[in-house]
Amino acid sequence: MGFSHSWIAVQGLTCEQALDALGMEVSDVQADLLEGVALLEWSDDWLVVLSEDDQDATGGDLAELGRLGRAYVAYGVDVDAPYSQACGREGRNDWVVTVKPDQGRVSVVGQPPAQLDSIIAAARAGQADSEIDLAFEIPAELAESICGFRIGKGDPETIRHVTLKSTGIPRSVQTGRRPGFFARLFGRG
């Protein structure tokens, strides 16, 4: 059984805005491992939302949070598929970087950050001395270079996340506003 997860870091998004947009609230459940959806406030005005679903942050429900901040970066990985992907936006530049080891290449769409070239060069230079596929780590390295976050890296005591649960109230990400009282009451929001 492999490992998969995804996360999105959004700059300028508050916890309250994210919870409202997702229709979620903080759960009483404390977990050391990622289960379901979790949230943590990160450095330099970045909010990170994590999911045990490998595509949730790059193309699923969590991806919608990206439009609510000044900039965002998202990362997803599934070692069984296998693939790893980072995507993001800063200003008007949207980009996607995907690595599928079975295809043996790095796929780039859009205008990725300038540091991608040096990350690719370092992976290729180190590949001769490594038995693992260093190209597979390129999206993770790129995402980390933007917001400073990478799951499993750093002191676990400093990376405390809170687990989230659904509120049962429809999400406001799609409309940009919370449904009215009667829409929520009759389930039409």
Give the pLDDT score at 104: 74
Give the pLDDT score at 9: 96
Give the pLDDT score at 30: 63
Give the pLDDT score at 37: 85
Give the pLDDT score at 173: 47
Give the pLDDT score at 167: 73
Give the pLDDT score at 25: 86
Give the pLDDT score at 128: 80
Give the pLDDT score at 162: 67
SS (H, E, C) the chain: CCCEEEEEEEECCCHHHHHHHHCEEECCCCCCCCCCEEEEECCCCEEEEEECCCCCCCCCHHHHHHHHCCEEEEEEEECCCCEEEEEEEECCEEEEEEEECCCCEEEEEECCCCCHHHHHHHHHHHHCCCCCCHHHHHHHHHHHHHHCCCCCCCCHHHCCCEEEEECCCCCCCCCCCCCCHHHHHCCCC
pTM over 0.95, yes/no = no
Give the pLDDT score at 171: 60
Q: Per residue in 122-149, pLDDT tens?
A: 998 888 888 878 899 999 999 999 999 9
Give the pLDDT score at 31: 62
Q: Per residue in 68-94, pLDDT tens?
A: 999 999 999 998 889 999 999 987 779
Segments of the chain scoring below 50 in pLDDT: 1, 155-158, 173-178, 181-186, 188-189
How far lies 54's CA from each of 71, 157, 171, 185, in Å? 21, 24, 21, 33
